[in-house]
Chain A
């Protein structure tokens, strides 16, 4: 989790990632941030994130992202 927040801060600082629940819907993360985030996550956790998973619901909070990552790791 800490690593994930580090990655997020690297991409877009000044957001309270531990608590924010509407990262996408609140426009804290912009489209291009999501693109770099996906590339970063895929490298870091050795997963592939298919287009299906790129929905606001999966990226609205750090917690949701972690859940998605774990789910994708299990699938492989």
Chain B
């Protein structure tokens, strides 16, 4: 018994020292700014933290479907509403929840739009644990940072200086077209089948909904047009989910008049994601919907929102260059 306690005590001390070391190293490994060169990944989505306090009206959260289809500068131009795309490739619900939680420290959006493809992305046990570990001890998140670190970075400073901001507010401009084979397969053949979500995703959905409720945020579910990622089974699943949560659900795959996607022109990867042309249609519908809610002020002309005008200018420049 004595030797057992002795070993137990030693094990506890061992783990304690390990945790302290990991904590200190976490402070070292945390990027100093949110620039890519400083070890930040997906700096465009993470630049949401550089936005001025309480300046974002709408957060749009999801995977690549979001940054390919939602153009915040366009919403700004048409409606004076500030939206931001918090989306990374293959983003799962665990990172979406993390994005939402962290953003809410500084922002108080009125609406959160969740793109629905992420609800069907399976999260392995390892992913969700790794996500939590990364939040507790950032070394698990930023460990690859050693590749870009300089000697100056070896400090215990764990504040990330948000100096990089994204002029496209999270949107990624793609102008080229790669049409699906003609005739393309109709993804929205009607069925009564329902695709179920994993338990884990259901529980993340609950957490997101609870968080929105506690902050008085209106949650909206949106399916962007996608031949490859969306179908009627998933549509039915989301209808059920929206009913259960008591939130609005918009499936743009079923709005051929309002969001008239022309797959021969509006996609850059054969119907998986929309390119700029598709995105502008998606965005124009979303913008009208947001304005129709009647809860947003028009910030256009407000000197505090000058950065949004700059962003619009920059975006137009890119567009002009492309259209030439």
Q: Do chains A and B touch in the complex (CB under 8 A)?
A: no
